[in-house]
Structure 1
Amino acid sequence: MTTDDEKKVVLAIHEKPKFAQWILLSIQHLFAMFGATVLVPTLTGISPAVALVSSGIGTLAFIAITRGKVPSYLGSSFAFISPIIAVKALELDPTSGVGVGSFLVGSFMVGVTYALVALIIAKAGTNWLMKLLPPVVVGPVIMVIGLGLASTAVGMVTNNPVGEYDITYVTIGLITLAITVVTAIFTKGFLSVIPILVGIIGGYLTSLMMGVVDTQTVANAAWFEIPPFQVPFLHYTPHFTWKVFLLMVPVAIVPIAEHIGHQLVLSKVINKDLIKDPGLDHSMLGDGVATLIASVIGGPPNTTYGENIGVLAITRAFSVYLFVGAACFAILFGFCGKVAALLSTIPSPVMGGVSILLFGIIASSGLRMLVENKVDFAKKRNLIISSVILVIGIGGAAIHVGDLFSLEGMALSSIIGVILNQALPGKEVVDFDKMFKE
């Protein structure tokens, strides 16, 4: 039973907080997204400073497009870690035909895809989307994201920069993981929402004590420094290839489904049906524009963050001004050279330690989606769809058609999952419009 205190709203969506309250609560949201937003660029070789700036600008654009009605923060999307790594590997291969900066072209195409989905939602409603992306498809695809990255996390913990097994790195990684788990399980309130950030801080301090961190770069860095933006035609020439398109665009299935889930959860938290007002088309368009902005300055694709929804649920402070403040702080941090230098000194076992838990949580959230939506695996149809998605995605299956294009891993499993769901008999009809009322 929900008490009156739990229902009490500290700050309404359009209520402007007092200055001190505004600063403190905005920084709280910044901390909630910071660990995950920085982790994605670190794993993919993108500048964390650029990722922070793009997330801040993207969030401001999202708030403007949704007319200030959706209190959300947009940060780096985990769904695109593997695709970005794959595309950047092709960029280094002179025989691939994939030019420098192609991952940003792929990110731009992902943003366009979001915008097209938003346009279709505006014209045709939402039920078609749930028919295309039911839990039996999206759940296993999310599991593929987490499990497919498992070897990356373990490698970061066990191997030093030379690629050799290092017990010091293993120790740091396990301590980081332990701190993260303890924070997630045994703390309450705001700390329980930011276990990744606490784990990174704890692991970093452990690394300092074990002599793994070189802080000289932080001391030498300037306080103000322009991030290494990657602007089209200035730093690279945009070049479309089917390889990049098929590696990145099909993966948009996952953040689109994630976006819908976040809007449903957020609607329940703030007790306002965001699917109808401002509408899923507006919020999806905001997501797309944020990703487009990121792609033209060198950042990773963006998505709404569940961590910040958790903060909203705890604090009951729903004011959209808090997210404006968090976005501005993220942009300022991105232009702080010492912050960028500090982020660059975080040892790989620290990031690997938190990644073990984070990637596992991603996989488990896919399983949770299947359980919560009561997907019946006694039905052969459901069993076949999920089994094929998991094996193709985790196994790294690929389809190559000469040098024209290639489709592999997560992207291939996503497309095959959608096709199987449409082709196999016995498809269940999901009424999206009833989901908010349940």
Structure 2
Amino acid sequence: MKNYVDVEERLPLLKSIPLSFQHLFAMVGATILVPIILGMSPSIALFASGVGTLIYIMCTKAKLPAYVGSSFAFITPMLTVMSKYGVEAMLFGIISAGFVYVIVSGIIKLVGVNWINKALPPIVVGSVVIVIGLGLAGVAIGWAGLGGKLPDEIVAYNIPRWKCILVALVTLSTAIIGSMYFKGFLGVIPILISMVVGYVFAIFIGVIPHDVMIKIAEACHINNIIQIPSFKFPKFNIDAIIIMAPVAFVTLAEHIGHVYVTNNVCDRDFTKEPGLHRSILGDGLATMFAGFIGGPPNTTYGENIGVLAITRIFSVQVIAGAAIIAIVLSFIAPVAVILENMPKPVMGGVSILLFGIIASSGFRVFVEDKIDFSKKRNLIISSVIIVIGLGGASIKIPHSQVEIAGVALATLVGIFLNLVLPEQSKTEKVNE
């Protein structure tokens, strides 16, 4: 007897809507956190994720259940570009990263995927992921009130440090407890629950200023319910391309991993039908669309794969419903105001866990792929990537304003070392 709903199956609307909300709740915490971290509009991120998911569904011929949401991998290079060249340049960098996906999709269609595996083996991907997570650690500590300097908004309203730390601690504790002990549907959304608990607690102890509460109340007025998101548009910048485009190769490896996991969950081979090239194309076009309207880059979400595994409902119709709900919510003013005024200590608390998980997932790559660090080659590649990525290294191309730094530089160096270093050093060969 079949105990699942297959990819192409359609459900009655009254059954489909609650299941779509479940997918929405699974992804919304992380999806809105990325733009909040970057000072971008969460409403636009919701809109971009919804439309991006529909684009993805069209590209994959509605044969691969996946939701796309904001990517954490690009946070550090996005912050770098924004600080140096502005938001419009950063948006163009997002478009360039999406275009890398489109190019890779075409190459895979022609020659297959082996070349990606050769350029980006686990030793490179794991090391870069560690850099991405640890590179954001200081941001989380600062927001939580545990750093030397409190967030500007906290200082402006003269909020005591102990209150910031307490809110961050409550938020972090809720996220940890939820991740460890919540079951079923609640076990899928511990991050969202922790953000709600932290937000309510922040209101209770007075971390959220009175004027913000007034804004929320005004947004709830019937005449103000509908609000058009504040779309922003890109501006060409070559530096943004060089800083952000290389990071796409890391998220490509993540994307391919997600497809293989979905294969196992759904007991299908999506790399053949609809094809890995279609999946990557959908992700790339979704990211390019986000860049054109002022949203963060998109990626397929592991959280939603978890929902598929728990519910055994693989229907693409349900995923599309979640995308449509996200688009509708992006036009609801109270949602936008609440998200845009997320207290920094709440973000700090949840980010301590999230950014740590990102870094730890890099170590997980090493473990799952049985990376042997007794081999000098692996030790060298990982060591150089981590120090370059975290040490603030940058290279400026002579006679130009082009600068390669951070995650982008670490990724390129890692790819280069992987391609040129032999499998064994001379000493290792002699010992054998």
TM bucket, shorter chain: over 0.9
Does residue 1:218 correspond to 2:216, yes or no?
A: yes
Q: Provide the residue aligned with 2:428 in structure 1.
A: none
Q: Provide the residue aligned with 1:415 in structure 2.
A: 412
Does residue 1:157 correspond to 2:141, yes or no?
A: no
Q: Provide the residue aligned with 2:98 in structure 1.
A: 111
Write out aligned runs for 1:21-36 (5 A). 21-36=15-30
Aligned 8 A contact 1:58 1:74 in 2 = yes
How much has 1:250 moved relative to structure 2? Answer: 0.8
Q: Provide the residue aligned with 2:167 in structure 1.
A: 172
Q: For this pair of structures, how many residues does the alignment match?
A: 408
Aligned 8 A contact 2:132 2:407 in 1 = yes
Aligned 8 A contact 2:182 2:190 in 1 = no
Does residue 1:40 correspond to 2:34, yes or no?
A: yes
Q: Provide the residue aligned with 1:227 in structure 2.
A: 229
Aligned 8 A contact 2:88 2:233 in 1 = no
Deviation per residue, 1:43-89 (Å, 9 max, x gap): 11110000100100000000011001110000000011111111110
Q: Provide the residue aligned with 1:356 in structure 2.
A: 352
Aligned 8 A contact 1:9 1:318 in 2 = no
The residue type paired with residue 402 of structure 2 is: F
Aligned 8 A contact 1:160 1:169 in 2 = no
How much has 1:404 moved relative to structure 2? Answer: 2.6
TM-score (norm 2): 0.92
Tell me the distance in 2 between the aligned counterparts of 1:419 and 1:198.
Answer: 42
Among all aligned residue pairs of Structure 1 and Structure 2, give the percentage whose two residues are the same amino acid.
49
Match of 2:384 among 388, 402, 407: 388
Coordinate RMSD, CA, aligned: 1.3
The residue type paired with residue 57 of structure 2 is: I
Q: Provide the residue aligned with 1:296 in structure 2.
A: 292
TM-score (norm 1): 0.91
Tell me the distance in 1 between the aligned counterparts of 2:389 and 2:331.
Answer: 38
Tell me the distance in 2 between the aligned counterparts of 1:39 and 1:376.
Answer: 35
How much has 1:163 moved relative to structure 2? Answer: 7.0
How much has 1:132 moved relative to structure 2? Answer: 0.8
Tell me the distance in 2 between the aligned counterparts of 1:231 and 1:160.
Answer: 28
- Structure 2 spans left out of the alignment, 5+ residues: 425-432
Q: Provide the residue aligned with 1:209 in structure 2.
A: 204
Does residue 1:126 correspond to 2:113, yes or no?
A: yes
How much has 1:249 moved relative to structure 2? Answer: 0.5
Q: Provide the residue aligned with 1:235 in structure 2.
A: none
Tell me the distance in 1 between the aligned counterparts of 2:323 and 2:233.
Answer: 21
Does residue 1:405 correspond to 2:402, yes or no?
A: yes
Q: Provide the residue aligned with 2:305 in structure 1.
A: 309
Q: Provide the residue aligned with 1:197 in structure 2.
A: 192
Higher mean C-alpha deviation, range 186-195 or range 51-60: 186-195
How much has 1:21 moved relative to structure 2? Answer: 1.1
SS in 2 for 1:215: helix
Aligned 8 A contact 2:31 2:70 in 1 = yes
Deviation per residue, 1:216-272 (Å, 9 max, x gap): 11111221000001135xxxxx2232x211210111122101100000000000000
How much has 1:295 moved relative to structure 2? Answer: 1.0
Q: Provide the residue aligned with 1:436 in structure 2.
A: none
